[in-house]
Amino acid sequence: MIFSETFCRKYGLKVAIVGRPNVGKSTFFNRLCGKRMAIVHDIPGVTRDRKDAFGQLGDIPLKLMDTAGLEEKSKDPLMEGMKAQVVAALHEADVILFMIDGREGVAPLDEEFANLLRKSQKPVLLLANKCEGKGATLAEAWGLGFGEPFPISAEHGLGLDLIYESLLPYYNGPRVEEEEEEKEAAPLQLAIVGRPNVGKSTLLNQLIGHERVLTGPEAGVTRDAIAIEWEYNHHRLRLIDTAGLRKRAKVTEKLEWLATSESHTAVQYAQVVILVVDATQPLERQDLHIASQVIEEGRCLVLALNKWDLISNKQELLNHLKERLTAALPQVRGVPLVPLSALTGKNKEKLLDAVLAIYEIWNQRISTSKLNRWLEGHVAHHPPPLVGGRRIKIKYLTQIKTRPPTFVLFSSKSTELPDSYVKYVINGMRDAFNLEGVPIRLLIRSGKNPYAEK
């Protein structure tokens, strides 16, 4: 039995996984989720932001929170932000899973964590990870004051039955998902992407109104793709903050490669993508490369010109960027471009309005009768070329799917219809049916009109 995300969101037991760096929290988080949701690496301190996801243990639905491993007393502002995220997770949790390394035993930092957990006054289960073989040291774990430690192996899935039995007293919700339960509409998936240090995380925090993800002056603060559910003007959104995307040739370390891979996956599953561009260094080659990837995936694209408050010649720059976009991305004419300041929040509502508007266009369906009435006049105005002394005949046009709008054009000698004429049809549809700014896919097929008899 696998619970739906809607069921877990409604009834899930809130569980925070905490502990010092490199004890296996993210590995355990991924196991409870049933898939890889958090980046796992041998380097300590990979997880920085709190990552939320849904999972289950047996018939208990879970709302899971993976947290950063805190290092010993540090004045680093980034570490202070990580600690604030951990404290927020403790405040929200119904149960805390405190993880230590069963092979290394109790470290001084484990004892500091224990003091922090006592202040939370929440139920705490002590998990001794990496106990799949000999050498586990559990006796001293009793001294942390959380009762008997549970020997587990996050990597191999050992000890989950013991944790299940211990979580049962804290869960009072249903353990069977009702089939007739009304399914909640899925939120709009909105990914925020861009080069490193252009203000993606600052923008996300500004949109939702509080410091949910870490920010800093240095590049590469965000590693995992962090998803946050939120609502704007009665529209449910799932905002996804991603790691900065550099040129592939510059990505040499495995950790950055994993973070970049997460960002690409976020784009693939998104419906709308906000590409954040630094207005002081606008539309560099990497920006255009990211934009092309989004369009190739068939996603809606909105450009956010961040740091607009630092620009003096605003109108001149805006006109230049629109021209550059038209030349660099001819396959998607009219991509929305919104100047804003992620730091102050100026124009953030305009950005979200542009997101909702282009999402509606992306979902638009045009009736076959309208398409073919338009096509008749469009072809008459500019007929297709001659091939071998005979003119290519355009027969029929129909929309076969949305998201992105996808059409099939039936014609004679379809393989010989020039790309220039295909672009002519696509651009005509853009103008006639208000399809500005979204990718359009037009498939050319030969054969009879499949709807003629109908």
Closest CA to 452 of 420, 402, 410: 410
Task: Report strand pairing: 272-278 vs 300-306.
Answer: parallel
Average pLDDT, the chain: 86
And the tokens for 336?
A: 């929305």
The secondary structure of 388-441, three-state, reads: CCEECCEEEEEEEECCCCEEEEEECCHHHCCHHHHHHHHHHHHHHHCCCCCCCE
Q: Could you give the angle at which helices 200-208 and 348-362 cross, rounded to 10 degrees?
A: 90
Segments making up each domain of the chain, as ranges: 5-170, 188-362, 368-445
Report whether pLDDT(18) > 90. yes
User: 91 falls in which pLDDT band (50, 70, 90)?
Assistant: very high
Closest CA to 308 of 271, 274, 346, 257: 346
Q: Please tell me the predicted confidence (pLDDT) of residue 269.
A: 87
Q: Please tell me the predicted confidence (pLDDT) of residue 380.
A: 94
Q: Please tell me the predicted confidence (pLDDT) of residue 387.
A: 84
Report whether pLDDT(388) > 90. no
Report whether pLDDT(180) > 50. no
Report whether pLDDT(184) > 50. yes
- Residue reference for tokens 């450009």: 303
Contact 336, 361 (CB under 8 A): no
User: 166 falls in which pLDDT band (50, 70, 90)?
Assistant: very high
User: 390 falls in which pLDDT band (50, 70, 90)?
Assistant: confident
pTM: 0.75
Contact 311, 348 (CB under 8 A): no
Asked if domains 5-170 and 188-362 share a fold, the reply is yes
Q: Please tell me the predicted confidence (pLDDT) of residue 331.
A: 85
CA dist., res. 210 & res. 219, Å (int): 21
Which of 228 and 301 is assigned the larger pLDDT? 301
Which of 203 and 79 is assigned the larger pLDDT? 203
And the tokens for 402?
A: 């949305």
Report whether pLDDT(71) > 70. no
Under 8 Å CB-to-CB from 132, ≥6 apart: which residues?
153, 155, 156, 158
**CATH hierarchy code of domain 188-362:** 3.40.50.300
Report whether pLDDT(179) > 70. no
DSSP string, 166-217: HHGGG--S-SS--TTSPPPPPPEEEEEEESTTSSHHHHHHHHHTS--S---S
Contact 422, 392 (CB under 8 A): no
Under 8 Å CB-to-CB from 212, ≥6 apart: which residues?
204, 205, 226, 228
Most confident of the following: 264-273, 395-404, 439-448 = 395-404
CA dist., res. 24 & res. 41, Å (int): 10
Q: Three-state SS for 69?
A: coil
Q: Please tell me the predicted confidence (pLDDT) of residue 84.
A: 82
Q: Three-state SS for 387?
A: strand
H/E segment holding residue 7: helix 5-11
Report whether pLDDT(97) > 90. yes
Report whether pLDDT(136) > 70. no
CA dist., res. 441 & res. 76, Å (int): 49
Task: Tell me 280's DSSP state.
Answer: T
- Residue reference for tokens 């008997």: 148
The pLDDT > 70 percentage for the chain reads: 85
The string of pLDDT tens digits covering residues 203-217 is 999 999 888 776 655
**How many other CB atoms are there within 10 angstroms of residue 249's CB atom?**
6
CA dist., res. 448 & res. 450, Å (int): 6
**Mean pLDDT across the stretch 3-10?**
87
And the tokens for 416?
A: 């010989």
**Mean pLDDT across the stretch 349-367?**
96
**CATH hierarchy code of domain 368-445:** 3.30.300.20
**Which of these CATH numbers, 1.25.40.10, 3.30.930.10, 3.90.1150.10, 3.40.50.300, describes 5-170?**
3.40.50.300
Closest CA to 259 of 28, 23, 1, 43: 43
CA dist., res. 61 & res. 38, Å (int): 19
User: 444 falls in which pLDDT band (50, 70, 90)?
Assistant: very high
Q: Phi first, then psi: what are they for 76, rounded to 5°?
A: -65, 125
CA dist., res. 13 & res. 120, Å (int): 17
Closest CA to 239 of 191, 275, 276: 191
The pLDDT > 90 percentage for the chain reads: 53
Contact 193, 242 (CB under 8 A): yes
Task: Report strand pairing: 150-151 vs 60-66.
Answer: unpaired
Report whether pLDDT(315) > 60. yes
